[in-house]
Every structure is written in structure tokens, then in C-alpha cells.
């Protein structure tokens, strides 16, 4: 049998429109929030460490994308 593979989960926000658009971050059970991994608009510092809340609205600038990484708290059983 194979071993369990554990990896990060990502949410990609893609805006091909000529104006900025709002995106609402998903909410999942056990989710602490979302951390920004990439923003192609170039308007956000690369060392941003903020965690965005579930259901928070983000503005994605025109013709750019953001990649958000899921942040989950550790469960009592160590998962």
C-alpha cells in the first residue's frame, strides 16, 4: 500500500477583466484562513505575512492573478 500524501491546498484568483474585481475567499471547516503566496499585480510586498479570513473579499487588480494558500489549525490528533 502507498503512503498518505499530505500537501498544501491553494486557491487561484484570476482576473482577465480590464478593471479590478472582488473575490470572496472560501470558508471550510477547520480553516484558519488564507495566506497570499503570489500577486502578479506587483502592488503587494513579497514578504506579506497576513492571514486573510474566510469569506473576506479581496480585490484582484486588472489582468492579474493571486494565489492563496490554505492555513489550517492543527487538530488534536496531530493531523
Whether 38 maps to a domain, the answer reads yes
pLDDT bracket for residue 79 (50, 70, 90): very low
- The domain tally of the chain equals 1
Give Cα separations from 33 to 18, 29, 48 (angstroms).
28, 11, 14
Largest CA distance in the chain: 50
Whether 79 maps to a domain, the answer reads no
Whether 55 maps to a domain, the answer reads yes
Assess contact for 65 and 40: CB atoms under 8 A. Answer: yes
Whether 32 maps to a domain, the answer reads yes
pLDDT tens by residue, 2-58: 887 778 889 999 999 999 999 999 998 778 899 999 899 876 666 677 899 999 999
C-alpha to C-alpha distance for 51 and 42, rounded to whole angstroms: 19
Amino acid at each position: 500500500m502507498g503512503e498518505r500524501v499530505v500537501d498544501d491546498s491553494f486557491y487561484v484568483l484570476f482576473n482577465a477583466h480590464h478593471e479590478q474585481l472582488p473575490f470572496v475567499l472560501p470558508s471550510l471547516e477547520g480553516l484558519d484562513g488564507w495566506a497570499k503566496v503570489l500577486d502578479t499585480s506587483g502592488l503587494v510586498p513579497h514578504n506579506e505575512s497576513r492571514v486573510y479570513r474566510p469569506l473576506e473579499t479581496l480585490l484582484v487588480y486588472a489582468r492579474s492573478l493571486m494565489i492563496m494558500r490554505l492555513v489550517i489549525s492543527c487538530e488534536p490528533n496531530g493531523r
